[in-house]
Amino acid sequence: MTWSQMEPLLTQGTIDTLYMVGWATFYAVLGGLPLGVLLVLTDKGGPLRNVVANRAIGVIVNVGRSLPFIILLVALIPFTRFVVGTAMGPTAAVVPLAIAAIPFFARLVETAIREVDHGLVEAAHAMGGGTWTVVGKVLLPQALPSLIAGLTTTVIALIGYSAMAGAVGGGGLGTLAYTYGYQRFEDEFMLVTVAVLLVIVTAVQLIGDGVVRLVTRRTRTG
């Protein structure tokens, strides 16, 4: 396979991968951030302590996290078809990716928020702040570096998952590696695909680290 043959495939594959990961990340934040916050708030000692709600969210998150992605992918096909109208293609792949990423990110959010010093929460309460003041003005801003680091981890996990989505016709670089590299024994194509994925993962990690540094720099150095 020549480079001129590979190039359009790779370009489309990269676009599809970024499309899938991008939307899945969007939904991961949309769903995972509130779930993670609620996991902390509803826990015992939290301002919204509620054992039933806390357990329920915990179970949902754990189930979502323990299912192997490839199983989730297949199991969700009827649901995906219901939501998107088809189970094939990058748009369809966003559904299982988002559903896998939400609990993943939710746990990371929970951990990040638990790290915030409880004294700060107490101080906000002493000033007359309510629960949402505490969340919006104390917990989230103070946890921001950890949240961004968690988001970076989530995006990279999603890039890996998106390659699996290729196995069921999701499109993207995973599909290319599988159909051309694996099924047609095009070793070079496989190598190039892996190289592109490596570049994307490295870029995401570098950007993530850079942003974390940007938001921590002013607060840590003297």
Partner 1 sequence: MITTTDLTKVYRSRGREVTALDGVSLHVEPGEMYGVIGRSGAGKSTLIRCVNLLERPDSGTVTVDGQDLTALPGPRHRAGRSLRQARTGIGMIFQHFNLLSSRTVRGNVELPLEILGLTRRERARKALELLDLVGLADQARAYPAQLSGGQKQRVGIARALAGDPKVLLSDEATSALDPETTRSVLQLLRDLNRQLGLTVLLITHEMDVVKAVCDSAALMEKGRIVEAGVVSELLATPGSRLAHELFPVAGAVPGGDRTVVDITFHGDSAGQPVISHLARTHEVDVSILGAAMETVGGRQVGRMRIELPGHPDTNAAALAYLRERGLTVELPAQTAPATGPAPLDRSPAPTEQGPTDELAPEGTR
Q: Which is nearer to partner 1, 41 or 164 (CB)?
A: 41
DSSP structure class, residue 134: I
Select from 2, 66, 183, 221 the one that contacts partner 1 (CB under 8 A): 221
Stretch that binds partner 1, among 13-21, 54-62, 96-104, 114-122 (CB under 8 A): 114-122
Map the footprint of partner 1 across residues 128-147, applying CB under 8 A. Answer: 128-131, 133, 137-138, 141-142, 144
Helix (H) or strand (E) holding 38: helix 3-41
Token match 């995401």: residue? 204
Shortest Cβ 134–partner 1 spacing (Å): 10
Shortest Cβ 170–partner 1 spacing (Å): 39
Which of 156, 147, 151, 149 minimizes the C-alpha distance to 200?
A: 156
Stretch that binds partner 1, among 45-53, 105-113, 152-160, 172-180 (CB under 8 A): 45-53
Which of 100, 84, 77 minimizes the C-alpha distance to 154?
A: 100
Q: In a 3-state reduction of DSSP, which class is residue 122? A: helix
Please say whether the dihedral angle defined by the alpha carbons of residues 186, 188, 194 and 200, taken in this order, is positive or negative.
negative
Q: Which is nearer to partner 1, 22 or 141 (CB)?
A: 141
Task: Give the tokens for residue 152.
Answer: 């970076």
Q: Which is nearer to partner 1, 8 or 128 (CB)?
A: 128
Stretch that binds partner 1, among 28-36, 76-84, 120-128, 187-195 (CB under 8 A): 120-128
Pair 179, 187: CB distance under 8 Å: no
Instruction: Write down how long the chain is.
Output: 222
By CB under 8 A, name the binding residues for partner 1: 47-49, 117, 119-120, 122-131, 133, 137-138, 141-142, 144, 215, 218-222
